[in-house]
Structure 1
Amino acid sequence: MNLSTLLEERAADGHPVRIGLIGAGKFGSMVLAQARHIAGLHVVGIADLDVEKARASLARVQWDEEQFSAGTLDAAVSSGETCVTDDTADLFACSEIEVVIEATGHPIAGVRHALAAIDAGKHVVMVNVEADVMCGPALAERARKAGVVYSMAYGDQPAAICELVDWVHSCGFELVAAGKGMNFCPGYRYSTPDTVWDYFDFTEEQVNSGDFNPKMYNSFTDGTKAAIEMAAVANATGMDCPSDGLAFPPAGLQDLAEVFKPVSEGGRLEKSGIVDIAASREPDGRMVLNNIQYGMFVTFRAPNEYTRQCFNQYGLLTDKSGWYGSMWRPFHLIGLETSVSVLSAALRREPTGISKRYRADAVATAKGDFAAGDMLDGEGGFKVWAKAIPAAQAVDLGALPIGLAHHVKLKRAITRDQIVTLDDVEVIDDLDIHALRTEQNQLLES
């Protein structure tokens, strides 16, 4: 709770926290919108393949052009300005940069960027949950050995869920479930980039503004993003994914403790210690009362009768028995909050969530029947959605992680809702990622 104080002390010593940002899309823009208002935080460099698009993002979040006019990173360090480059290697080579934020959303690039940053002795804030769920445990182990911090991004839901889980353990309650809210119905599963805007209330002007990527938004709609994020939370907390994937039970605030407890206790979970989603819509499409579409939650059990009585005395929302309670955070502000992770890494050398173990995976699952020779198009596309399953199950199946399901050719036909395996596709490129995944298998926890 003292990050701002620590930052003030650094700034007073003339030693700002210097960062590099990779990716100036929606998330990166939100980071930049706040960064220039945080005294003592200096964005030295921004790397994006499209430099002009990055400059347009800076202008859109009200940066003055002279603020990002530095010609080199060294000049940016000296002047306090920012350098925009198309080469991520520039950021890794700059000795003054302490923390790199990876916000590309591209899983393979994200893994490679994280490895390069770790090798350069820099802390990594991994906005790119797609990369984290694919190789996060291995990256975290590499960072540990290198003596740097590898962290989830605060402001994104996985880090906020990890914070709630930590609160449960720190208070001595029994952790039962953790998850987030989401606008989801079973029929959304087969949404495509062509149909995705039907599920949102955005205006045509908003959609055409340059901030709205149909594949990204489709990954939220079809449940892929949920699978990615919940598998990442499982890897960070030691919790489990349901054996047949996320169930998305509809639940409002008043129902969390009743729904997210084991079936043996009258709830919907196969066991205690599960991650899942509180859907904000009923299966027929009606909105759930008091839904937590933008929030995160935990459910937990009182360890004794006295604590159970306290739950009641202090107004905690509980199940009918009073033994199970829930706590939640109603909103998350995405990149507007990510500076918390940056400062935690630089000033306290602590992550805001880290994939410490390999317990879960998000695997490619067919949206329809497709023939040999068809090309898969990855997260948020027309061909596959991601299913969150236990890591041991993914390894036994030889399942294809969703992060490696883009632009790969099928060797044999697949059917709707079938988990795609590595044997089903032609594995040609990305052998370094497959090698890292093999390394990660050594971190498998049953």
Structure 2
Amino acid sequence: MNLSTLLRSRAATGRPVRVGLIGAGKFGSMVLSQAQKIEGLHMVAVADLAVGRVRQSMARVGWPEERYGAASAADAVRRGTTFVTDDVSALLACEEIECVIEATGHPIAGTRHALQCIEHDKHVVMVNVEADVMVGPILAEKARARGLVYSMAYGDQPALICELVDWVRSCGFELVAAGKGMNFEPRYRYSTPDTVWGYFGWTEEEVAKGDFNPKMYNSFTDGTKAAIEMAAVANGTGLDCPEDGLAFYPAGLHDLARVFRPASDGGRLARSGLVDIAASQEPDGREVVNNIRYGVFVTFKAHNEYTRACFKQYGLMTDPSGWYASMWRPFHIIGLETSISVLSAALRGEATGSSREFRGDAVATAKRDMQPGEILDGEGGFAVWARAIPAARSLALRALPMGLAQNVKLKRPVLRDQIVSYDDVELSHDLDVVEVRAEMERRFRAGVEAAG
């Protein structure tokens, strides 16, 4: 709770925390909006394939044009301004940059960028959950080996959930479940980029007026983003994904402790220690009262009668028995909060959540029956949605991680809702990233064998 104090002390020495940003989409724009107001934090360079878009974003969020007109990263360091480039290597070559925010959302590019950051001895704030859930545990291991921080991005839901989990454990409660709220109905599962706007209730005219990416919005709609984020939370907290994927239980604020407790005690969970989603819609489309659509939560249990009585005395939201309680955060504002991760890494050497083990996986699952020769088009597309399952089950099935399900051809037929396996596809591209994933899988198997 003293990051701003630490930053002031650091800035007083003439050494601001120098940062690089890769990716200037919505998340990156939100980062830039706040970065200009944090004294002692210097955004040295922003890299994006569309340099024009970066400049438009910076103008839109209020940066004076002269502030992002540096001719190079070295020039930016010297003048206290910002260098805009389409060359990630130019950003990484700047020795003064100590922390890089990876916000491209592309799992292949994100993996490569994270590896390059580590090679250049820079902390990594991994906004790119798509890459993190695919290879995050091994990236974190590589960073630790060099004395670097590999961190989830504060403001995004996985990091906020990890924070609540840490709170539960640091207080000595029994952790029961963790998750987030979101808008979901079962019929959304098979949404495509062509149908997604109907689920938001937007007309074609409204969509045309905005800068909306249909695949990105569809990833949220069909449950893929939820699977990616919850599997990442499992890897960061030691919780587990449900055996057959997230259930999306409808639950409002007052029902969290009742719903997210074991079925043996009247709840909906198969057992304690799972991640899942509090859906803000009932299966028939009715809005859940007091839903936490934009929030995150944990449920936990008292260990004795005294603590149980304290839950009641201090007004916690509990189940009818009083043994289970909930804690939540009602909102997340993604890039507007990500400086917390940057400062935590640079000033404390701590991550705001990090993938510690390969425990959960987000695997490609067919949206429809498909035949050999058809192309999988990745997250938010027409072909597959992501299912969050335990890593052990994923490896037993040779399941294809969602991050590798982009631009690959089927060589065997698959049925709707079938998990796609490595054996079903031709992996001819991005083999460097495939090998990083394979290395992680080998280490997981070796660890299981060593444990007996």
Contact 1:30 1:336 in 2 (8 A): yes
Distance 1:62 1:202 in 2: 28
Distance 1:438 1:265 in 2: 40
**Post-superposition offset of 1:208:** 4.0
**CA offsets per residue over residues 12-41 of structure 1, 9 Å max, x none?**
111100000000000000000100000011
State yes or no: 1:300 paired with 2:304.
no
**Post-superposition offset of 1:336:** 0.2
What is the RMSD of the two structures over their aligned residues, measured on CA atoms? Answer: 1.2
Q: Which residue of 1 aligns with 2:141?
A: 141
Q: Which residue of 2 aligns with 1:56?
A: 56
**Post-superposition offset of 1:235:** 0.1
Contact 1:361 1:389 in 2 (8 A): yes
Q: 1:373-388 residue pairs with structure 2 within 5 A?
A: 373-388=373-388
State yes or no: 1:83 paired with 2:87.
no
**CA offsets per residue over residues 380-426 of structure 1, 9 Å max, x none?**
00100000000000011110000110111000111100000011000
Distance 2:237 2:203 in 1: 38
Distance 2:171 2:101 in 1: 31
- Letter matched to residue 61 of structure 2: V
Q: Which residue of 2 aligns with 1:423?
A: 423
**CA offsets per residue over residues 277-316 of structure 1, 9 Å max, x none?**
0000000000000000000000000010000000011110
Cα 1:300–1:415, aligned 2, differ >3 Å: closer, same or farther? Answer: same
Which stretch of structure 1 is more off in the superposition, 257-266 or 53-62?
53-62
Distance 1:195 1:11 in 2: 50
State yes or no: 1:39 paired with 2:39.
yes
1:419 aligned counterpart, secondary structure: coil
**CA offsets per residue over residues 49-103 of structure 1, 9 Å max, x none?**
1111111111111111111100100000000110001110111110000000000
1:432 aligned counterpart, secondary structure: helix
State yes or no: 1:101 paired with 2:113.
no
Cα 1:68–1:425, aligned 2, differ >3 Å: closer, same or farther? Answer: same
- Letter matched to residue 219 of structure 1: S
**Post-superposition offset of 1:203:** 7.0
Distance 2:144 2:50 in 1: 32
**CA offsets per residue over residues 340-386 of structure 1, 9 Å max, x none?**
00000000000000000000100000000111000010000010000
Contact 1:26 1:211 in 2 (8 A): no
Distance 1:335 1:14 in 2: 26
Q: What 5-or-longer segments of structure 2 have no aligned partner?
A: none
Distance 2:372 2:8 in 1: 59
- Letter matched to residue 349 of structure 1: G
Q: Which residue of 2 aligns with 1:174?
A: 174
Distance 1:393 1:14 in 2: 51
Q: 1:68-217 residue pairs with structure 2 within 5 A?
A: 68-200=68-200, 207-208=207-208, 211-217=211-217
State yes or no: 1:345 paired with 2:355.
no
TM-score, length basis structure 1: 0.98
Distance 2:206 2:103 in 1: 21
Q: Which residue of 1 aligns with 2:372?
A: 372
Distance 1:292 1:387 in 2: 22
Q: Which residue of 2 aligns with 1:237?
A: 237
1:270 aligned counterpart, secondary structure: coil
Distance 1:322 1:183 in 2: 28
1:176 aligned counterpart, secondary structure: strand
Distance 2:130 2:379 in 1: 9
**Post-superposition offset of 1:211:** 3.9
Q: 1:327-342 residue pairs with structure 2 within 5 A?
A: 327-342=327-342
Q: Which residue of 2 aligns with 1:219?
A: 219
May I ask how many residue pairs the two structures share in their alignment? 446
1:354 aligned counterpart, secondary structure: coil
Distance 2:273 2:330 in 1: 22
- Letter matched to residue 59 of structure 2: A
- Letter matched to residue 77 of structure 2: V
Contact 1:206 1:212 in 2 (8 A): no
Q: What 5-or-longer segments of structure 1 have no aligned partner?
A: none
Q: Which residue of 2 aligns with 1:310?
A: 310
Cα 1:300–1:431, aligned 2, differ >3 Å: closer, same or farther? Answer: same
Distance 2:111 2:202 in 1: 32
Contact 2:197 2:203 in 1 (8 A): no
Distance 1:411 1:209 in 2: 40
Contact 1:25 1:211 in 2 (8 A): no
Q: Which residue of 2 aligns with 1:406?
A: 406
Distance 2:203 2:345 in 1: 38
Distance 1:201 1:101 in 2: 33
Q: Which residue of 1 aligns with 2:251?
A: 251
Cα 1:209–1:159, aligned 2, differ >3 Å: closer, same or farther? Answer: farther
1:226 aligned counterpart, secondary structure: helix
**CA offsets per residue over residues 142-188 of structure 1, 9 Å max, x none?**
00101100000000000000000000000000000000001000000
Cα 1:348–1:201, aligned 2, differ >3 Å: closer, same or farther? Answer: farther
**Post-superposition offset of 1:210:** 5.7
Cα 1:208–1:73, aligned 2, differ >3 Å: closer, same or farther? Answer: farther
Cα 1:349–1:205, aligned 2, differ >3 Å: closer, same or farther? Answer: farther
- Letter matched to residue 279 of structure 2: A
Cα 1:6–1:211, aligned 2, differ >3 Å: closer, same or farther? Answer: farther
**CA offsets per residue over residues 92-132 of structure 1, 9 Å max, x none?**
11000000000000000000000000010000000000000
- Letter matched to residue 334 of structure 1: I
- Letter matched to residue 41 of structure 1: L
- Letter matched to residue 84 of structure 1: V
State yes or no: 1:269 paired with 2:269.
yes
- Letter matched to residue 138 of structure 1: I
Cα 1:95–1:69, aligned 2, differ >3 Å: closer, same or farther? Answer: same
Contact 2:361 2:394 in 1 (8 A): yes
Distance 1:400 1:65 in 2: 45
Distance 2:125 2:108 in 1: 16
Distance 2:6 2:264 in 1: 47
